Structure 1
Amino acid sequence: MMPDEVAAHCALVLETNNLRGGADAEARAGTSLQRLVALLARQQLPLTALAQVVVTHDGLSPATCEAVARAAGRAIDFVRIERSTGYYDAKNAGFEATDAQRCAYVVFADADCLPDDDWLLQMLLPFAQADAPAVVAGRTSYAANVVGTALTTIDFMYFPNADHAGATSNFYANNVAFRREVFAQHSYQALDGVYRAHCQVLGMRLRAAGVPIRYVAQAHTEHRLPDTRAEALKLRWMRGQDTYSLTPHLLRSYVSPRWQWLARSGPIGPLAVLFTRLGFSMKALNRQDLPPLRGLRWLAGVALILGFSAIDMLGAFARGIGWHTTGRTHADAQALSYHKP
């Protein structure tokens, strides 16, 4: 098949949960969504090539929906969700709204990300090949500056799956595509008290089920940073807290049985995970398809990795001793502000 033939049987699902935060969020969400859709409409493989486009939201006005569809140059299916619906449940809801007869493939993206001009084409190319995979993971990064490069080594690392050439063991929910039947079988499962780790758990479940995830670095999208420094610090704290819940899954997937006690060790296990991650982050610096940092910029990048990791560790330690600040239920329904261009 050609990529446009795959596109003709593909749905794109966009959630707007990450646009909920900040002052005057409703109006700014509409502006941010229109900006993204206008970018997608100008892709090398445009939105008009797709079978369906679905946008989940919790209160966009009819005028905003009309403006977004106009920017897309095509019809869009808007799916209303509750304000309490979490980020991953919104993606599940968007998938449920896709047409099972027309859409054999489903691409998931976030309304706060900025894709490269050929992002959609690169995402769908593997499905057009003879050895078409079941899942394709694109590459997500922050902006190509010192702060963004440092944070990319922490938040958006990819770990090869040694059992399959060109495969990754993990993916990020803002940049992934599935064959319909694979996502229908697995989807995102509830994880109470977890902000953003459900996709990592799903990656482990797919690996255990023998479903390889094809990694395509050329399918790149840029994730924005929160609009304020206070929210950026809050993000780090919540990611640290997530490590506590993620640790048992990591131990079961990658560590021998004699180390499983770390899942019941309070803050010890999560801190061990984060120290291990710190080592991987240091090794990943200048190896993630971003412009390399040299000289003083490299030293600044190292310092930022250490500093951001320290905040994550404080969050994990706090959760480990019983201080849970992200809420014990619906933690992924929380929202930061991601509206700046």
Structure 2
Amino acid sequence: MKYIFSLFLLLLITVFALVAAQFIGMGLISIAFDIPFMEFTSKMQNMNEYPELRTPVLILQGFTQVFSFLAAALFFVKYVYKFNQASPDKGAVHVMNPKLAQHFLEEPFLQRYKTPAFIFLIVLVLAVVAFPAVWVTGALNGAVEFPETLKGLETWMKTQEDNAQTLTLFMTDFSSPLQAVLGFIVIAILAGLTEEIFFRGVVQPLFQNLTKNKHMAVWITAIIFSAIHFQFYGFIPRMLLGALFGYLYIYTNNITVPIWAHILNNGLTLIMFLFVDKEMLNAPKIEGNDLLTMIPLGILSFLLCFAILKFIKKKMETEVEENVSKK
């Protein structure tokens, strides 16, 4: 029950932080760029007509990421749960704040077990290898059609997808090298850092404690991670990426590994946006003979990802055993 309450509390904190960050961020942007608040809000509704808003929107996006997901996660860990080293049999663990409950948290947050440098190089290979699988599942996901009785839902989902694509295309249509650097920081680095700390570092351990099953925790967190983007036609590939990040966290016990993987995925995608047809990457479609070509490639990509994950798992198990034997 305590973990359900914790999840509910985390949800409240996150919603409050998200709303506050958006409102405060827009206020600060209005002051910094000398744009009246209401005018800025109005222009945001049709941002494609105002390319001068690209830098303010990127800054707002970064500000919102830091002061919503990241701030909510760190506030939750610091003030709802507190770090405690009073358990001689378990070592350093997180426990709930005594004002809320007196129970040890069996699966701690934000673990940072020392990971060999070569693991990060392997994750780089994994990010590249995973791209065909993500692209193919995205294309298949985008081809889903709903029955007539659910046309209203389909229309709403397509509207959300179109809005997300409009924002993505607007934010990545850089007009200068400096703007491209800012875009990389916001879209790749900050998104990877903040989302992984929140989802893999805090949400996943909560579900692992609740379900007592690490695989359920990984997939539940991955589903939530994908759902909050409100892009149904990219739901499956994003969920699979979330699961990939989740297993990297479980196998390494180091939050910096999924952060690195997330940054690589977003960064590689952004780089391809700059050199490949953006519309094709944003809403991939597979038709005719391309389907016969790409699906086997996607399957091969899945198999290679699975093999690399197993390799990482084995190497980390060996690393832990060697460290224990040295003590």
What TM-score range do you get, normalising by the shorter chain?
under 0.3
Choose between structure 1 and 2: higher helix proportion.
2
**TM-score by structure 2 length?**
0.25
**TM-score by structure 1 length?**
0.24
